[in-house]
Structure 1
């Protein structure tokens, strides 16, 4: 069995401060065997797990109810799901999966033909998304035997297992997921229960019901989720991000623990239009120059949370090291003066001072970020206003965790087929070449060149790595901080034996 690709040692050590952070005091866990009450930050739309463009909350629920070939355990390692074993050929360009004995919902046997058909459909639905680009090297899905399928690649995809474990690659049959959990109702709440092995076409397990517990999940706004934890009516809060982190800090002072995941990804401003001031790359760079990232980080008082001016997190696999942090050795006042000069030049022809709309989620954490950005941009002659997440805007606060720890994930988020405004054609072509290159050293070189080109175009203005938090009461089992910020529900339903 092959485990998921992990972050490099350098990247893991750099993030250790985040993972180790523990605030507040412990409280008693719920009695063993009773339902585990969970507050999941999100809204009722997360219950629609049938699509492939999922919200974070919907990904959590889909991951529990719609199995793929493989899955994640609590620590982010790859474990069997519909496939109970697999092998990878020496050249890394073919993955062969043996499917488990069992049935789809409704009683039909799980076969290579049915699994391959559903997987092809899932891949087709992901076209035009960053995840679709991550999987673009899949050339063919072949049925080799009754319960054996092979995925052939046009080039190596070292993180294919990690990608196949994503909830979007769950394989519903006849629009129904194969588990391992069933979704139902408990009053106004959502209840998830482990499906007995015999109902999945598997061998019955003696004492199964005594080794599992139901999960009672409520989809709530962040403030209500934290209140549930404070009231003692939830033992776990999942789905915390920067926008709601101040609420977690307040909760930790009362009772409970804040757990931070050592994630990487993108947290910054995504350019949404090439009109007006944002039409030229030097003007977009002026925004990047003006931001006081240290001040934004300081507003949250989190040890180990680091600012960055790079698109790609340093130290990940495929980072050739040719692109470093920008403007090293340049004093903040010099950077701000250069940015102000570009705004002045823009207005010299009679154009009004730039007014930029930033689309961002509500929440006290977002307010802290936007307030700091407003101060920084005002100093160079730019006014900003915050608008809702779904409102047309000039800039968008992007907050996304990496699905796997390689440079390609970061750059695929900014590919022209995914995000058109201010995309860089030269960088996009280099990125496409890298996807087709089998030699990993050459691929790293191409990715480094692509990052340099895309960075110069400034379609995205980095601020820091993302922040992911949970509230976890003492005694809760099945939860573990991990590099993906992903907390699967099935391990939480298993009772220690």
Structure 2
């Protein structure tokens, strides 16, 4: 009781100070699913507390952030941003120079990551007079603003972002309160304080999160992935609303160690072809009570992205034929290995696969283990932080371009890679736009023939809304990229 009273006193004081009266609104209780790690929660918290030059709204559209407006110049190679008239939290004036320094720090923090590879398109960042900043690109990039709006590029000055929300961590909870528009250099609507509410944020596994929702201890669950989805009984959907976003991106297995069995390209192809993706998607879909629009894939680039139109692989072979080919390849390799391997080294047919926790991940592992067992392989499941031969990748595309998919597997990000594909993608930047799709198609063929990434299906993200909370969550809308930022949920007047 004393602990609860302490939290209440602290939060009442904090909320009153932070949003000038919005503490009168009941907080929206948000649970973020973290079976796959804390990265998604960290991104959402940064997006809510550290705006970039531009941001993403609840529909996944680019909207002004610290920049109130911008123009595109030099045939798409120059982006000139006019910053709003405001200050950083410590009182320092927001200027082109402080924004330039903050953006350079944010970009440097992504070095060696896939997002860092995306950002190599930036050639220079220039502070111009007063509140103006220019970003120069090496080549035009049609989706550059969507890339720039990613949470990791939220700008901080002396360790603090400029909003739109302020974060306070109290007794294991993150509290987010909206910052008044006038404090952010924006027009102040009349009666603003009565229209906003704070958010309380907790992180936990998918099964526990849904249990909290059913017990009335949470209003909404965000950030769910198919791997952490608990079984949903059909009766549950009558009381609670589950929403699914099927998004472009990568959901599959990446080869982390091209040694042993996985050192041989035909062996990797055997592994890729023997997975019954339709059965896998069906098993996971049944657990979810059905996921409209979710389908398996053998391709790297998601349908509808760019103009690359390659067919699905092995469409001319049924599963029995694919298993027969895979069995023969495993047998050939195993026979050759016995001539050179020492007895204590084992048969080399066990592969370690790194997967997150979660009920959905259990179903996924069971299906994969069953499929590979049919050709004489064994899977051993390990945690995401452990050394593995294969690792599950579940990433939603940040922007709609074939380049995003290739950068996830770039040799600057993963040492086990396909250099020829990287070379082809680099070439595509330097040719006339009508010629680029052919180079992307050739690069995708290179990646697929190498079988260093084994696609399974499109990524799925899910949210669940508590009973009676639906009318309070008009800021939570479906969108093509599964983006559900926290700030729009603070609007209690929708």
**Alignment TM-score, normalising by the size of structure 1:** 0.88
1:226-282 deviation per Cα after TM superposition (whole angstroms, max 9, x unaligned): 111101121110011011223455783472101111311111111010110000111
Q: C-alpha separation between the residues in 2 aligned to 1:251 and 1:109?
A: 55
* Partner in structure 2 of residue 89 of structure 1: 73
1:318-346 deviation per Cα after TM superposition (whole angstroms, max 9, x unaligned): x332x221111211111111111110010
Matches within 5 A, 1:68-467: 68-89=52-73, 91-185=75-169, 187-248=171-232, 252-253=236-237, 255-300=239-284, 301=286, 302=290, 303-317=292-306, 319-321=307-309, 323-349=310-336, 350=338, 352-421=347-416, 423-434=417-428, 436-437=429-430, 439-467=432-460
1:136 alignment partner, SS class:
helix
Q: Which moved more, 1:248-257 or 1:173-182?
A: 248-257
Question: Quick check: which has more Rg, 1 or 2?
Answer: 2
Q: C-alpha separation between the residues in 2 aligned to 1:384 and 1:250?
A: 32
Q: Which moved more, 1:482-491 or 1:345-354?
A: 345-354
Q: C-alpha separation between the residues in 2 aligned to 1:227 and 1:183?
A: 26
1:259 alignment partner, SS class:
strand
Q: C-alpha separation between the residues in 1 aligned to 2:308 and 2:331?
A: 37
Change (3 A) 1:83 1:57: same
1:385-407 deviation per Cα after TM superposition (whole angstroms, max 9, x unaligned): 11111110110111111111111
Change (3 A) 1:413 1:102: same
Say what the alpha-carbon RMSD is for the aligned residues.
1.9
* Partner in structure 2 of residue 41 of structure 1: 33
Q: C-alpha separation between the residues in 2 aligned to 1:437 and 1:280?
A: 33
1:8-49 deviation per Cα after TM superposition (whole angstroms, max 9, x unaligned): xxxxxxxxxxxxxxxxxxxxxxxx942111111128985xxx
Query: Are the equivalent residues in 2 in contact too, given 1:40–1:239 (CA < 8 A)?
Result: yes
Query: Are the equivalent residues in 2 in contact too, given 1:416–1:428 (CA < 8 A)?
Result: yes
**Alignment TM-score, normalising by the size of structure 2:** 0.88
Query: Are the equivalent residues in 2 in contact too, given 1:74–1:487 (CA < 8 A)?
Result: yes
Query: Are the equivalent residues in 1 in contact too, given 2:89–2:162 (CA < 8 A)?
Result: yes
2:478 counterpart of 1:491: no
1:480 alignment partner, SS class:
coil
Q: Pick from 472, 476, 479: which aligns with 1:479?
A: 476
Change (3 A) 1:405 1:285: same
Q: C-alpha separation between the residues in 2 aligned to 1:255 and 1:166?
A: 34
Query: Are the equivalent residues in 1 in contact too, given 2:205–2:358 (CA < 8 A)?
Result: no
Query: Are the equivalent residues in 2 in contact too, given 1:194–1:490 (CA < 8 A)?
Result: yes
Q: Tell me the CA shift for residue 495 of structure 1.
A: 2.3
Q: Pick from 460, 463, 469: which aligns with 2:462?
A: 469
Q: C-alpha separation between the residues in 1 aligned to 2:231 and 2:49?
A: 30
Q: C-alpha separation between the residues in 2 aligned to 1:163 and 1:248?
A: 34
1:152-208 deviation per Cα after TM superposition (whole angstroms, max 9, x unaligned): 111111111111110110000111111100011455422100011333344544322
* Partner in structure 2 of residue 14 of structure 1: none
1:88-128 deviation per Cα after TM superposition (whole angstroms, max 9, x unaligned): 12611111111011000111110001101111121122222
Any stretches of 5+ residues in structure 2 without a counterpart? 1-23, 342-346
Change (3 A) 1:178 1:445: same
Q: C-alpha separation between the residues in 2 aligned to 1:237 and 1:190?
A: 15
Q: Tell me the CA shift for residue 218 of structure 1.
A: 1.3
1:142 alignment partner, SS class:
strand
1:79 alignment partner, SS class:
strand
